[in-house]
A and B are shown apart, each in its own frame.
Chain A
Amino acid sequence: AQTVTQSQPEMSVQEAETVTLSCTYDTSESDYYLFWYKQPPSRQMILVIRQEAYKQQNATENRFSVNFQKAAKSFSLKISDSQLGDAAMYFCAYRRTMTGNQFYFGTGTSLTVIP
C-alpha cells in the first residue's frame, strides 16, 4: 500500500522569508503523480502544485516550487516570499496513474506566517 509521510506537524516562517515543507512517500510504482494541497481556515482544499513522476523538471507555480527527488521518494514544497495568506494546513498527496483512482494523503503540516 502507498503511504505518504509528512514529518513536520507544524512549521512557522517570517513574512517575506522562505520555508520548505517536507514529504516522503512509499511506492513500488514507477509512474505516478504528486500534489500539494492547501487548506486554509475555511477548510476548503485548494490545489497548490502537481508533479508528474516521469518529468525530471521540478514543478513551479509562482512563489511555490517543489524539490522532487524520485530515487529518495521525497517531494518537498518551497514557499518563497511568504505571505500572511499562506498560513494554512498543507497536505502532500500521491496518486497512481494506473486504475484505482485513489489519492493518498499525508497527515498535514500546519504553517504559521509571522508578521
Chain B
Amino acid sequence: NAGVTQTPKFQVLKTGQSMTLQCAQDMNHNSMYWYRQDPGMGLRLIYYSASEGTTDKGEVPNGYNVSRLNKREFSLRLESAAPSQTSVYFCASSSILRETQYFGPGTRLLVL
C-alpha cells in the first residue's frame, strides 16, 4: 500500500517547455487534488477532481491543465512553463466519508 505517489521528484524546465506531473493513489479514494506550495503562501489549490470524470478549478488554475485518467490517476500539465511556476507541487487524495486528505511526497519544479 504505497498511498499517494508522485513522479518526478524533481524537474528543471526552460521557459516555454511543457511537462506533465503524474500522481497515483491506491486507496480507492474518490477525490484528488493538486496544490502548489510557495514560501510564505502556504498551500494553494490548483485543480481538484471530486470523482472520476470530473475536474474543477481551484484558487490558482491559470497555466495548468489536469486529467483524471481513471480513479487512481490524476495528472497536472504545464503547457508552456513560466518562471512563476517554480514551486513545490503536491498531489493529494481523500475519501468523502473520511474527510481527510493524504498527500504525496511532492515534486520540486524549477523553471529557468
Q: Please report A residues at the B interface, Cβ cutoff 8 Å.
A: 9, 33, 35, 37, 42-47, 50, 52, 91, 93, 95, 97, 99-103, 105-108
* Contact, CB under 8 Å: A97 / B48: no
B contacts with A, residue count (CB < 8 A): 25
Output the residue of A37, A47, A97, A103 with the most chain B CB within 10 A: A103
A102 to B43, CA, bound (A): 12
Known contacts A44-B106, A45-B92, A101-B48; A107 and B41 CB within 8 A of each other: yes
* Contact, CB under 8 Å: A91 / B105: no
Q: List the B side residues contacting A108 at CB < 8 Å.
A: 42
Q: List the B side residues contacting A102 at CB < 8 Å.
A: 45, 48, 58
A46 to B90, CA, bound (A): 12
B44 to chain A, nearest CB (A): 8
